[in-house]
A = this chain, B = another copy of it.
Amino acid sequence: MAIEMVTETAGKDVTDMLRNAGLRPTRQRVSLAELLYSKGDRHLSAELLHEEAVAADVPVSLATVYNTLHQFTEAGLLREVAIEGNKTYFDTKVSDHHHFFIEGENKVIDIPGEGVGIGELPAIPEGMEVVHVDVVVRLRKKS
């Protein structure tokens, strides 16, 4: 019953979140949003989210997952993290922060708190402005 409440509440939150973002709260979008936001900060690929959705008896097509992820990103609900060559990861935490990347495991982890301080920004070229600073600390298992 507590679980029911949580689920309902999450559903409501998510519905509002979508509406506020100007996105129709369709079955699929609500379900995907719940998967994305009900487990803390996450970093996932479209493929992985699709698998989770199917596993959760929310059969969405992979195409819709891609569409949805991009719509969420445009709406500012997600951030794309470019860390690795071919695969795209989406980060449910949109505020400023940086990442660890575990090589070999292809795993992305938030760097907690203000873990990294950029000493000073370099001179920005003429007529340009900074959109974002990404720091990726690549890790491997100690040998």
The answer to whether B142 touches A137, judged by C-beta atoms less than 8 angstroms apart, is: no
Residues of B within 8 A of A71 (CB): none
Residues of B within 8 A of A100 (CB): 122, 125
Take A82-B84, A131-B103, A134-B138 as given contacts and tell me if A120 and B123 are in contact as well, using a CB distance cutoff of 8 Å. Answer: no
Give which listed residue, B85, B112, B131, B142, contacts A127 with CB less than 8 A. B142
Residues of B within 8 A of A109 (CB): 125
Judged by a CB distance under 8 angstroms, whether A56 is at the interface is no
Report A's interface with B, CB cutoff 8 A: 80, 82-86, 88, 100, 102-103, 109, 111-113, 115-125, 127-142
The 5 closest A-B pairs by CB, nearest first: A117-B119, A115-B122, A128-B139, A131-B138, A134-B136
